[in-house]
A and B are shown apart, each in its own frame.
Chain A
C-alpha cells in the first residue's frame, strides 16, 4: 500500500473520555459501590521511628459492625512484605514503625463511622527510637539504622544487582564511568564544583490512592485500584497471597491523576488483606493527608564537578548524588540509577564519573514522580552550565548548543543513539522567548535543557478486535490518568484501520481482559503501548486484505483501505462484508495481536531506551526585591516528540508539566521537624494555583518523525517539567547576580540571597 496522508493521527481531536468527565459521569475508584462493601480505616504511627511492642485489636474487633481488625502480627496467613525493588515494606508495621504515618493497624467495618470508632479502641505500645530524617543524619557514622535485616529482592530483573551497604542506611549504590574524569578535570581550563539540593515534594494527584477489593472462590481476588501499573500490582498480590496470576484481577477505572504516585502497589495489599479477613468486599480510600504518608519524590543532595576547556567544550562531569528514598525503597533504587545515568544531561561528555546512593530515612517512602530522578540532577547540572557560561564569557544558549549530543550520536555503548535534534528545540525556545532581544530592565531570562531515558527493557502487548459491524475494540493496559492515552491509542487504531475515531473503543485496563503492559510511566505509553496497538491493528488490516484478496481472486497489493471498507479495483467491500466472507454468517471477529518486547541489551542499564525524551525550557522572570518573591512571567517549553499524535492533549501535558515544575521550583517542600511532617495537608502545603502560572505559557514541539513509536512518535510529558527549576534559577541569576542552590526558591531564600549580595 502506498503511503497516504494521515487522517486522524496528528490531529487535535478532543479526548474520547471528555464527555464523561464534563458531565460528572466518569467513575473513579472511590465512586464505585459494590454490594456488601465494607469501609476501611488505617491507624498510623505517630512516631518517625519506634519499636512496636504490642498492638491489641481485640476491643476493636469486638465492636458491633466491625468485620475485620488487623495488625502486623496477624498477617501470618500471607506474605506480609512487598515492594518492587526490595520486599522491605510490611503491609502493617511488624515490630518497628519506620516513619510517621506508617500503617500499624487497620479495620474494616460496615461504615466509615464505625471503622473510625474501632480505631479508637486499638491499643498500641510504642517505644520511640531515635529517627534519621535528613541525609546527613542517615549517613552519619553510627547513625540509627532504618532497616537492620537483609532485604529480599523485589520483582525486577534490572534491579537484581541491588547493592546495599550492610550496617548503613544505604540501600543501593549506582556507579557509571567512562574516560578519565580526574585527569580531565585536572587539565580543564575551568572547573566548577558545587552542591545543589532538591526537596522532598508531594505528587498531590487530586484523587488520593484508593482500592476496592473482593475475593471469590471462583475468580480469586478482584481489585479496583487507582494504579498506574495494574500488572505490577498483580504480581505483588499473587506473591502475597500465593495465588496464581490468573486469579488476581486488577481493574483500573478512571484515574484522578498519577504523576508516578500510583506506580507499584500502594494501598492494594492492605485492601486485599482486609477483604480476605472480613470475608466481604472492602473499600480503602486514602485522604490527601494519607497520600502524604504514602509516597513522595525522592529528595536529593547533588555534588557536581564540571570541567570545561577555554573554547567551551565540556570535557568532564563528576557527580555524587545522595537520594533520600525514605523509610522503604519502593522503586527508589531505580529512580536513583536511572536518574544518575543521565546526570550529564543532553551533552557530549568524554570523561564521566557518576556515583549515587539511595539512602533510607525515617520519612514517607520516596518513589516515582514525573521525571524519575532526573529533575534532581538537572537542577544541579543546568545551573552549573549557566555558571560556567558566565565564567567563560559565553552565551548560555550558545554554550549548550556547542556541547549538545547530535542526532544519531551514541549516548553510551549499547544504548539507543540520540533520536532527536536538541539544537532545534533550543533554537525554537530561544526564538520564542526572544533571547537575542533585550529584555525589560526588571526581567531576566534563562534557559535549561534535559535528556531522559525511558524504562528499558519493557513489554507492551495489545489486542485489537474488529467486530461484524466494522467497529473496533482496543484491548491494552495503558492507564488513562489524564494524559490522554485512551484517545491516542484510539487514534492509532483508527488510523491504521481507516475507521472513524468514534468507531473505536479503548477498553479500560483489567488484567483479566486487557493484555500485559508493564507500566504507565516513564512517558512510554504512546511509544510502547501505542506501537503494540499499531502492530495489532496492522495484523487485523492484513487479515482484511488477505480475506478480500482470496475471495475476489486479486492480489493484496491491489487493495486499499478506505473509510471502513476494503477497496478493490472494481469493488468496495465494507468490513462487515469482509467478515461475512470470512465467517459465512454474521458473527465472528478479526483479532489482531501486537507485542512490543525489545528485550535486554548490552546498554548500561540492561535495556536500550526505546526513545530519548528531550526538551528545552526558557523562562522570563521578575523578582520583588522587597520580598524576594520570584514571578515567572513568561515560559516557553519545546519538546522533541517525533510526532504529536494529538497536539491538543500533548500541549495540555506539557503545560501541566511546566506548572507542576513551578511547584517544586517556587513553592513546594515537605518540611520535617523532630521527625514530624509539618505540612502534610493542602492547607499547609502550597501547590501552584491558576494565578501562579505564567501569564504567557507556550509549549512547542519539534516533529521530525524520528521516534521509534507509531508514525515516528516518541514519549513526552516529563520533559517539560525538568528544565523548569534551572531555567527559572538561571533567569534569576542573570537578572540579579544571585545563584541559589536549594529548591524551592522561596521568597525568604531569595530575599536573604539578595541581601547578602549587597
Chain B
C-alpha cells in the first residue's frame, strides 16, 4: 500500500504492507532508530511517537493509519542543534540513564505540554502511566518535565 507521511517535517512516500507497524517503518524504512521496541504491548512507551501531535505506541500502530499525517520522532525534536526545552531539562536533571525509554518519555512529555502547558505533578504522573523507566525511579523525569514546562511558558 502506498502512503504519504510527513516525518519530522520531511514528506515521505512509502510502499508498505497493510500490516506494517509504524515502528518498523520508522526504524527500518526511514532509519529513524530513536523510537525503541520493548514491550510490544503498548505498556512501556519506549516506542512513543507523535502522530498529528497525539502520542501513540508505534509498536502497535499500523503505518497506514498514519497516512496523510504528520509524525514527530525524537530525531525531529531539536531545532537543528538547538535542543527542545524538554531535551535540555532531561539532560540537566539527570533524567536520562540507559536512554532506552528516553525518546518515548520526551515525546510523551511533548504531547502533555501541548495539551497542558502548566501540568501539576499529578497531571504528569497520570500522563506517564504509559511510559515505563526501569533506571531512574522517575523523580528526575518528573522534575525535568516540570522544569521544561516552566521554561517553555
Contacts and interface: CB of A to CB of B under 8 A. Distances in A.
B129 A681 contact: no
B75 A21 contact: no
Interface string A1-39: 000000000001011011111111111101100000000
A722 to B, nearest CB: 15
Contact of B139 (A208, A482, A484, A693): A693
B143 to A, nearest CB: 11
B132 A693 contact: no
A690 B141 contact: yes
Contacts of A483: 97
A28 B75 CA distance: 15
A683 interface: yes
B128 interface: yes
A687 B132 contact: yes
A58 interface: no
A660 B132 CA distance: 12
B83 A22 contact: yes
Contacts of A20: 99
Secondary structure type dominating chain A contacts: loop
Contacts of A207: 36, 38, 98, 100
Given A656-B136, A681-B39, A697-B139, A690 B99 contact: no
A23 B74 contact: yes
* Among B27, B37, B96, residue most surrounded by chain A Cβ atoms (within 10 Å): B96
B33 A22 contact: no
Contacts of A687: 132, 134
Nearest to A291: B38
Contact of B134 (A24, A26, A652, A656): A656
Nearest to B100: A256
Given A22-B87, A23-B78, A25-B34, A693 B138 contact: yes
B34 A691 contact: no
A222 B77 CA distance: 34
Interface string B64-99: 000000000111011000010001001110101111
Given A22-B83, A22-B96, A288 B142 contact: no
A28 B100 contact: yes
Contacts of B73: 24
B30 interface: no
B134 A204 contact: yes
Interface string A240-281: 000000000000001111110000000000000000000000
B102 A22 contact: yes
Contacts of B97: 257, 482-484, 652-653, 656
Interface string B117-153: 0000100111011011111111111100000000000
Given A31-B33, A207-B38, A24 B137 contact: no
A330 interface: no
Nearest to B44: A682
A153 interface: no
Contact of A482 (B38, B99, B124): B99
A658 interface: yes
Contacts of B41: 681-683
Nearest to A663: B134
Contact of B36 (A23, A206, A481, A682): A206
Contacts of B33: 24, 27, 31
Interface string B23-51: 00001000011111111110110100000
A29 to B, nearest CB: 11
Contacts of B136: 652, 655-656, 659
Given A23-B74, A23-B78, A206-B38, A659 B137 contact: yes
Given A24-B103, A481-B98, A652 B129 contact: no
Nearest to A111: B28
A353 interface: no
A481 B100 CA distance: 10
Given A207-B36, A682-B41, A690 B135 contact: no
A690 B140 CA distance: 10
Contacts of A683: 39, 41, 43
A26 B87 contact: no
Contacts of B128: 689-691
A648 interface: yes
B101 interface: yes
B113 interface: no
B106 interface: yes
B38 to A, nearest CB: 5
A691 B94 CA distance: 19
A24 B105 CA distance: 11
A17 B99 contact: yes
Contacts of A482: 97-99, 135
Interface of B: 27, 32-41, 43-44, 46, 73-75, 77-78, 83, 87, 90-92, 94, 96-103, 106, 121, 124-126, 128-129, 131-142
Interface of A: 12, 14-15, 17-28, 30-31, 203-208, 254-259, 287-289, 481-484, 648-649, 651-653, 655-660, 681-683, 687-691, 693, 695, 697
Given A21-B102, A23-B75, A691-B128, 17 more contacts: A15-B91, A22-B83, A24-B102, A25-B75, A208-B38, A257-B100, A257-B134, A257-B135, A288-B38, A481-B98, A649-B94, A652-B97, A655-B136, A656-B97, A690-B129, A690-B131, A690-B138
